Amino acid sequence: MAVLTLAWKSLLNRRFTALLTLLSIALSCALLLGVERIRHETRQAFTQSVSGTDLVVGARSGAVNLLLYAVFHIGNPTNNISWQSYREIAAHPKVDWTIPISLGDSHRGYRVVGTSPDFFTYYKYGAKQPLDFAYGKPFEGVYEAVAGSEAAASLGYALDQEIVIAHGAGNVSFAEHGDKPFRLAGILAPTGTPVDRSLFVSLQGITAIHVGWQGGAPVPGLKIPASAAAKLAKEPSDITAFFVGLKSKLATFNLQRHINQYLQEPLTAALPGVALEELWGMMALAEKALMAMSFMVVLVGLTGMLSLMLSALNERRREMAILRALGANPWQILLLVVGESLFLTLSGILAGLLLLYALLWQAQPLIQNRLGLFLPINPPSSTEVMLMGAVLLAGLLAGLVPGLRAYFYSLADGMNIRV
């Protein structure tokens, strides 16, 4: 107890440098724990972008590529699926529900997804959470649309907003369907998934705006009014992909094999969970590099503490000699220095944790609205506790260096210092 009291008074005597050291450790720990929390929550959001879906089916390609364009709307499909093949698979006795999607159009840089009303019923994300509407309702008419939360907020859209869809998926398009505008019927609540950055219309709406088009451009001289195109719009000839929900999970591999061996056209059925893990594994190198950089920042903070303690130790040699003269043994001197190091490290870790929670509390709404990533303010996870333990151990090891040096200082060495 006396050693702890001495350590506390010694730190108070050097409070300015001690506070600088504590601040350095606190900032580095806040960065380390913040990176870990963002990594964990990003992975959770990434792997839970689609849940409750047993299979994702598209044209023959790799499972990762299929998931990229079907779920994340990144890249383009290798081919489309005929409507007839989709209907045959959807009618399979083991299939409970399906969600067709058609890609290829956009609106001011946001993907337009043609789908059926079943999308808002069966699509799940996270822990099988259904889609909720912040405003409005699902589309019903041919020229009605639903916007994701981020798309609506970024474009400043409200209900009944007129939307003109463009042909192609780029930010700028010279082929717009300006003669067939859509009306915004609903805006979805935030999900933290690619749904937030998309606009949804019916498959009939996608077909209607392309009536009178050929080869990706309107037929010269042919103009069909929106009302007439809506009547002509029927079932699409093909779609991009579709999601499948099964009546029994036991039938998953059986139906996957059936689809992969489908004779009418080459198809791929991917298990979303497996493909998501494979996709995340491809980014593991960047994840490890980010964690390594955070550890280096912590190491710099602890090295700063070590340097300050070593530089101060030479000035404290007379203090150590007086303590020895008063009866302190070398082990107590060692414990004094190591105790100061542990106190600074532990205080820095706690201060860093408090700083992280303060930043999360302030930035949580902004991160969710801008990035679609929800960072919960939860108690430290087991991984975060392990990281804090590793930092504390590193602080102990850093304190042993000046502690051992002080241990070997002799009484005569301290008393013979000339001032």
DSSP state of 212: T
Task: Give CA–CA dist 258/93, Å, rounded.
Answer: 13
Which of 3-7, 230-234, 301-305, 393-397 is predicted with the least confidence, judged by mean pLDDT? 3-7
Which of 65-74, 188-197, 282-291, 311-320 is predicted with the least confidence, judged by mean pLDDT? 311-320
Task: Give CA–CA dist 114/241, Å, rounded.
Answer: 11
Mean pLDDT of the chain: 81
pLDDT surpasses 80 at 265: yes
Q: What does the pLDDT read at residue 419?
A: 44
Q: What does the pLDDT read at residue 145?
A: 95
pLDDT surpasses 70 at 272: yes
More confident residue, 168 or 52: 52
Q: pLDDT-based confidence at 178, cuts 50/70/90?
A: confident
Q: 81-140: per-residue pLDDT in tens?
A: 999 999 999 999 999 999 999 998 889 889 999 999 999 999 998 778 899 999 999 999
Task: Give CA–CA dist 300/294, Å, rounded.
Answer: 10
Q: pLDDT-based confidence at 326, cuts 50/70/90?
A: low
How far is the CA of 321 from the CAs of 1, 9, 139, 331, 337, in angstroms?
A: 20, 17, 83, 13, 14
More confident residue, 416 or 199: 199
Instruction: Give the mean model confidence (pLDDT) for residues 322-351.
Output: 76
Task: Give CA–CA dist 364/381, Å, rounded.
Answer: 18
Q: 274-292: per-residue pLDDT in tens?
A: 888 787 777 777 777 777 7
Structure tokens at 126: 């996270």
More confident residue, 333 or 151: 151
Identify residue 400 by its one-letter amino acid code: L
Identify residue 167 by its one-letter amino acid code: H
Q: pLDDT-based confidence at 41, cuts 50/70/90?
A: confident
Structure tokens at 223: 């103009």
Measure the CA dihedral 294/295/301/307, to 10°.
-150
pLDDT surpasses 60 at 2: no
HSE on the CB side for 317, CA within 13 Å?
A: 17
How far is the CA of 277 from the CAs of 209, 262, 281, 282, in angstroms?
A: 37, 26, 6, 9
pLDDT surpasses 70 at 213: no
